[in-house]
Amino acid sequence: MKKGLIIFLVFWMVFAASQEISRALISGSDARAEEVTGPRRTMRDPFVPPIIESAPTQKVDKKADTAKKADAQKKPVKPRAVAPPPYSLTGIIMGGSGASAIIFNPSTRASGILMTGDTMDGYRVTSITAGKVVLMRQSKVFNLELHRG
């Protein structure tokens, strides 16, 4: 009888505590929920950016800032020079489905078979003829010629 009574009391205490926690959470009272369950230790939602407290802002001299922007706008931007392709043309295959070029890259020691329109490391094959392949990168044209010998 005592054993059954102890089990009933433990069950009742757990049930009552869970009911109180549920009521506190449903009512939305965070203070009451923390009082019952302790401080919340939840993980941050990884899809919500963290809230970062900003440092006190400094006063910005608008005249100096405007002068810097004007100087930056005056400087012309030089376009990057496009380096010639590091490839060598090792063969050309002329067939019924079109021409293909066998191009060797000595830096990676790899070869590739390319057709007109294909790209390799940013260089696009624009045309393949019997002894020459024309490559283009950023509107610069490069010729690879087949070395015979």
Res 116 pLDDT > 80: yes
Question: Phi/psi of residue 119, each to 5°?
Answer: -125, 150
Helix and strand numbers (H, E) in the chain are 3, 7
pLDDT digits (tens, 9 = 90+) for 95-111: 888 899 998 888 888 88
Give the integer Cα–Cα distance in Å for 94 and 101: 9
Can you say whether residue 43 is alpha, beta or left, with left for phi > 0 and alpha for psi between -120 and 50 degrees? Answer: beta
3-state secondary structure of 51: coil
Per-residue pLDDT averaged across 47-63, rounded?
A: 65
